[in-house]
Structure 1
Amino acid sequence: MKQLTTYLPEEVYSTMTTLSGQDESVNAYVRAAVEAENRRRLFAGMDDAISAAVGSEAEAAWHSANAAVIETRGDAA
């Protein structure tokens, strides 16, 4: 997981390390958010329509991950 820190905002990496070893469904949501964010960064600077679509996917995935964290921990992440 340490290799991912280059590509992740600090709050995402922090959430991932906090959740390490917890409920697998939460980890799956977090992984999906990380993958979507990495795709967003990969496509940044390309065609605006592609960037917007990939950015929307990253945002939706992060909201799903955050909701899973809230449900598991019982508080805001």
Structure 2
Amino acid sequence: MKYKTAQAWKRAAMQRPQGVSDVEMVRRKQQACDHVLQNGGKASGDIWEDYMLYITGRMEEEEYQSYLLFKHSSVEG
């Protein structure tokens, strides 16, 4: 594993440049908003920070899923 903590992984990813077009970013943000609304309409700041990793293209879907699995299966949380 390249990162020892999920927080370190997130920090490293946020240093990357935006990886998608503005149009794609808007589409992904709408997709995330729709997901939140379908699941009770609440998302904490931490959840939105995670969403932004994918929305901005700093992580693509496969890496994002791996990050979430690591984050939620680690003691760190």
Same fold (TM over 0.5): no
Specify which structure has the higher proportion of helix.
1
Higher RCO (CA-CA < 8 Å; seq separation 6+): 2
